[in-house]
Structure 1
């Protein structure tokens, strides 16, 4: 059966319309698929961002955890050291408390000891060669006055007593020259004194006309002849640091040892 041209044209138009509808439907489906893919990609990107953010947070927390652990380890070591120091300090405090309990006992014992030391020093000076008598006696008097003062600690008192003893010890190994008055034949005369340790103690008048040496046995002055004048003048200059040290001849008085009680 043959279709007319009009029928053929209508059939062609219908087929074209159906094809167009099908293409439109496919295009719409494709758009939906593309849109869905884009939404999936966007969702995946957001999810990845969340994952990256969480991963960064985890990494940051891990670093903080490690830092805190390291700080804790350091604090543990520090606390251990501090505990040892505290233990040592507690031990020292215990020892200090024990020592403080002995302070009052020591103070009660040291005061009489210092008093005896001062009395012994006074007796020694009275029996010794009488050089610088006023100065040495004044030193002893000051020590006695000091012992009665409450504003000076026991340790300071003991230090001053030992200092006075040291001064007396030093006299035995030094040479000294000084000027002072000396009573001779009932008259006071201006003389130069020479002390060489404690083995020689002589005087010479300013004009050099008279010289004498101390006699520890008789507790008096023995006159010296003019033969000593040169050596005594030389020794005086050495003592005053006007000459370099040199050998000099001076009278030495050797007495029998006495017992100091």
Structure 2
């Protein structure tokens, strides 16, 4: 039994590298007697203890190494995860930076376009300001011009043949009332003046018949008036008892002879569109020789 144990110890010692030749020299002494084995037995016990301690120490060291390696692996994994996160964040920032650069470039193009538009608008504003100055100067000149035009129209109506006098005088009075009003623009005032001139101008190219009241020798007569442009103005009573023509030179109504009575009556029918236009024979004041 001791030999078997010695052999086991010897092998263990050889494997552990702790007993060496010392254990191998003890082995032959075992054959000579039991007493000589005691030292060998004690030596084997010490060797076993050393082997056990070495084995425990080796196991502890291995666990520590494995633990350290595991910690290092975990630290490496965490480091790699942090690196991956940093790379992802860097890529995201790079993409965002690229987008920002594109936006900046787009804004540069937009700003350039806006600057051109602003320059053009400033030029337009300057031109408008010049135009406004010209308009203001024109306004200062327009008011005296309109005053002269209205006064001239007033004189013309009073000097002209007395047709539609109430209507024409009212139109002139409206222009006088319009002139000082601040709520009406100069352009609108001037338009009204030109409109009045246009109406007066149209009277010279039209034929018209209308009813009116005419004073003659202190009596107020209800008559039918026939106006043919501005070359002839006549009237006729409803009972055909009076037919008269406006004499520009005399500034009065003068009687027409019998042959013109039917011509005036026919002219009234034409003006009222009761018959087709026809040739009329009416007296016309001859222009004076210069």
Fold shared, TM-score > 0.5 on shorter chain = yes
Larger radius of gyration, structure 1 or 2? Answer: 2
Cα drift, residue 256 of structure 1? 5.3
Match of 1:247 in 2: 277
Match of 2:111 in 1: 79
Q: Secondary structure at the match of 1:45?
A: helix
Match of 1:179 in 2: 211
Q: TM (normalized to structure 1)?
A: 0.68
Match of 1:119 in 2: 151
Match of 1:233 in 2: 269
Residue-by-residue CA offset, 1:28-60 (whole Å, 9 max, x unaligned): 666556545543442333223222221222222
CA distance in 2, matches of 1:108, 1:88: 30
Q: Which runs of 5+ in 1 are unaligned?
A: none
Identify which of structures 1 and 2 has the higher relative contact order when contacts are C-alpha pairs closer than 8 Å and 6+ apart. Answer: 1
Q: Which runs of 5+ in 2 are unaligned?
A: 17-50
Match of 1:49 in 2: 81
Q: TM (normalized to structure 2)?
A: 0.63
Match of 1:128 in 2: 160
CA distance in 2, matches of 1:221, 1:14: 175
Match of 1:6 in 2: 2
Q: Would you say how many aligned residue pairs link Structure 1 and Structure 2? A: 247
Residue-by-residue CA offset, 1:75-116 (whole Å, 9 max, x unaligned): 323332333343344444544555555566544433332232
CA distance in 1, matches of 2:148, 2:271: 37
CA distance in 1, matches of 2:69, 2:249: 133
CA distance in 1, matches of 2:105, 2:206: 66
Cα drift, residue 137 of structure 1? 2.0
